[in-house]
Amino acid sequence: MTLEERIHNDLSSAMRKKDELVMMTLRMTLAAFHSRSIEKKGKGEDTVLSDEEATSIVTREVKKRKESAEAFLKGGRADLGEKEMKECAILEAYIPAQVDDATLEKEVDAAIQKTAPDGMKDFGKVMSVATKSLKGRADGTRIATCVRKKLASEA
């Protein structure tokens, strides 16, 4: 069962339970899937989303909601911030588990070995390799922090 099918099934279940928050969140996610399919159709590509594409869309939606929640909380709108965090929690169930710090460091070390960087000026090269190897399994911010730490300790 693909991620998109799983979300469709969960939406049907939420509709039966009359869970408004889950229904709204999953509908917005399916709308994002649909938008991506239309975008692919315009480029002449296959409109069916792969699980990798669907996961990246869900990850992007989670990130949007976290940023919105942060903005709402800073703006004194705790009620809307909480709603965004609840939506975020719903969507996080569809994202594969993030790698632990030890695995992250191993992957970054492997990327450093592969690129043989010359200090922080080669940060982009290391990030490129590390991001490809950790795609979908670690947040870009976590990867960047680890790469910076490793490159700074080598200097």
Buried b (16+ CB within 10 A) or exposed e, 33-46: beebbeeeeeeeee
Residue 98 sits at φ, ψ, to 5 deg, of -75, 150
Q: What is the DSSP string of 109-138?
A: HHHHHHH---GGGGHHHHHHHHHHHTTTTS
Question: What spatial distance separates the first Cα and last Cα of the chain, rounded to whole Å?
Answer: 47
- pTM, whole model, 2 decimals? 0.74
Distances (CA, A) of 8 to 3, 22, 26, 30, 41: 9, 12, 8, 8, 21
Q: What pLDDT sits at residue 15?
A: 97
**Domains of the chain and CATH, by start:** 3-92 (1.10.1510.10), 101-154 (1.10.10.410)
Q: What pLDDT sits at residue 155?
A: 60
Per-residue pLDDT tens over the stretch 102-155: 888 999 989 889 988 887 888 888 899 998 888 878 888 889 999 999 888 876
Per-residue pLDDT tens over the stretch 38-89: 998 888 888 888 888 898 899 899 999 999 999 999 999 999 999 999 999 9
